[in-house]
Amino acid sequence: MASKAGTSTSEFADTVSSTAENVKEKVTDAAESARQRVSEVGKQATGKIDEKRAPAADALQNAASTLHERAEDLPGGETVRSVAHSAADKLESTAGYIREHDVRAMVSDVEDVVRRNPGPSLLIAAAVGFLIGRAFRED
């Protein structure tokens, strides 16, 4: 009888091992499938954002040009005109950056800034999260 019990235990262990292996394979397959889907969605989003880069850069450039043109007519003296021209210069710079860098380069630049300035980055992320939450909150 001892050999029969040993065989049953061995068969049970083999069944458990086989089942565990099947579960592991299914989890691995599901994880790979999810990774592929996420990757594809990411590629699609990157493509759509890249399509919008040129129009966004053009809009920023137009805003900068308008600000430069109208800066002289602003009330408040030289200080206000100087601030307006400075803001227009920043808009032009941003437009150039958007034209010259694709989404991956921009993400890489953001990651570098976050690594160099983790504290301020967390504060900005918290503030943006708060504002987004506030915008979607139902009162």
Q: State the pTM of this model.
A: 0.61
Q: Give the CA dihedral 91, 57, 132, 121, nearest 10 degrees.
A: -60
Encode the chain (139 residues) as per-residue pLDDT tens digits.
445 555 678 888 788 888 888 888 999 989 899 999 998 988 888 888 888 899 999 999 999 999 999 988 888 888 889 999 999 999 999 999 999 999 889 999 999 999 999 999 999 999 999 999 888 887 6
What DSSP letter does each residue of the chain carry, written as one string? -HHHHHHHHHHHHHHHHHHHHHHHHHHHHHHHHHHHHHHHHHHHHHHHHHHHHHHHHHHHHHHHHHHHHHHTT-SSHHHHHHHHHHHHHHHHHHHHHHHH--HHHHHHHHHHHHHH-HHHHHHHHHHHHHHHHHHH---
Nearest to 80 by CA among 88, 71, 89: 71
